[in-house]
Amino acid sequence: MQKQIKVFYIPFSRRGFTPFRDLSLTGLTGLKTAISKTKGDDYSKILCLSPTPWKIRESQRIFHKLTKNTYIPPEMMTIKQLSKKLYSLHGNKTPISGSIIPIIISRLSGKGIGFSSIISSFIDEIKQYFPCKDIESIHKELKGVFEELNVPEEGSKRAMDAIEIFRKYQEALTAQNLIDENDVMAECPAIIIREHNYSPAILILDGFYEVTPSEERILKSLIEQAETTLISIPYHSDFASITNSFDDFIKNNFSIETGSVATETALPLPSSEKGLSYVSYPGIDEEVEGIARHIKNLFISGRCRSLAKIIVAFPKLHTYHDIVQRVFKRYGIPCTFSTSKPLGKTEPYLALTALLE
């Protein structure tokens, strides 16, 4: 049977889009059609993946409104949640939480938690953007880049030291038969292909606009296994640079059909989601990353089209100043600060005082 892959480009002006309601309005292969063709009330062969837990909760809420009777619900989760589930069923190592990685690195390197958290983020970036690449190859590539750019020895040595800590970290995990979340994701495509029973009747990719190479490998394996794939991509011609990477990934790997969604059917934001919420983060780096992701999700979903209306307050602005500039720039979020960073807190001054001490 020929597989169907249909892409829906959703205007930024829509609020609260989820495929469970809107795909049925296109007259194509929507969820309502899938429900009507399903014998009984078992929808467990439908898999919906979203980039954030918030989108998952939204999809669950809307699906519940569409079904009148008692039912077996579809699977709804993020890519990381799916990889953890599959590995727990078919993997042979013990997974560890990402929150304890800085502690492991601290023990291996003899450094403090602050330094170890930076190395942990470094390892996370490498594994997400260079999945399955061995450490020796990464070492050679970095060394070649440093030589080509004439990076001072002090800077290149720090990077090489970080790679060496990375090597010790991987060896420690292997010795204890452990595996971290990034390596679980790297194992996921092989599990999906090997376990032929894991073939969703309908795969829905809801709201993705930017994925890492590690996530791309998982999505590619799932789409190849699924009978029908429905993909919603937030889109606006003025902001195509934000969504192009995911759109190109889909087009470069699969033959697709395209569809559109009527703008008049936008869902209002529930009043319960307009209030205050609290999120705890283990450190400043994770906190700023979380804030940046949330702001970008607000923009992409259309819930906040004017970034000038977003205000972020910090307990000590100079402590957050540099990392906010760095992270927000990476996410493409423009920002201004109410007060400039004190000269005494700038990098040149801190380096000078450290030298004098």
Q: What are the residues facing 46 on neighbouring strands?
A: 202
Residue 47 and residue 12 share a domain: yes
For 59-96, write each residue's pLDDT tens digit.
777 777 777 778 888 899 999 999 999 999 999 999 99
Residue 165 and residue 212 share a domain: no
AA letter at 243: T
In a domain, 274, yes or no: no
In a domain, 308, yes or no: yes
For 255-271, write each residue's pLDDT tens digit.
888 765 544 444 343 44
Q: Given this model, what pLDDT does residue 83 score?
A: 95
Contact predicate 294/53, CB 8 Å: no
Q: How many CB atoms lie within 10 A of CB 135?
A: 15
Place of tokens 């979903």: 301
pLDDT over 60 at 22, yes or no: no
Q: Of 128, 147, 179, which one is at a domain's C-terminal end?
A: 179
Range of the domain at 54: 4-87+188-265
The beta-carbon contacts of 9-12 under 8 Å, at least 24 apart in sequence, are 9/233, 9/235, 9/258, 9/260, 10/232, 10/233, 10/234, 10/235, 10/261, 11/235, 11/236, 11/261, 11/263, 11/302, 12/234, 12/235, 12/236, 12/239, 12/299, 12/300, 12/302, 12/305
Residue 73 and residue 217 share a domain: yes
- Per-chain mean pLDDT for the chain: 80
Rounded to an integer, what distance in angstroms lies between the CA atom of residue 87 and that of residue 95?
Answer: 9
Encoded tokens for 33: 């059609």
Residue 17 and residue 83 share a domain: yes
Q: Of 148, 179, 210, which one is at a domain's C-terminal end?
A: 179
Q: Given this model, what pLDDT does residue 245 score?
A: 84
- The Cβ-side half-sphere exposure at 225, using a 13 Å CA radius, reads 22
Rounded to an integer, what distance in angstroms lies between the CA atom of residue 166 and that of residue 101?
Answer: 11
In a domain, 22, yes or no: yes
For 193-250, write each residue's pLDDT tens digit.
887 667 888 898 887 888 999 999 999 999 999 988 888 887 766 666 767 888 889 9
CATH code, domain carrying 16: 3.40.50.300
pLDDT over 70 at 342, yes or no: no
Residue 196 and residue 167 share a domain: no
Q: What is the mean pLDDT of residues 8-19?
A: 55
Contact predicate 247/253, CB 8 Å: no
Residue 171 and residue 106 share a domain: yes
**Total number of domains in the chain:** 3
Q: Given this model, what pLDDT does residue 199 score?
A: 83
Q: What is the mean pLDDT of residues 332-347?
A: 68
Q: Given this model, what pLDDT does residue 88 score?
A: 92
Q: What is the mean pLDDT of residues 155-172?
A: 91
Q: What is the mean pLDDT of residues 23-44?
A: 57
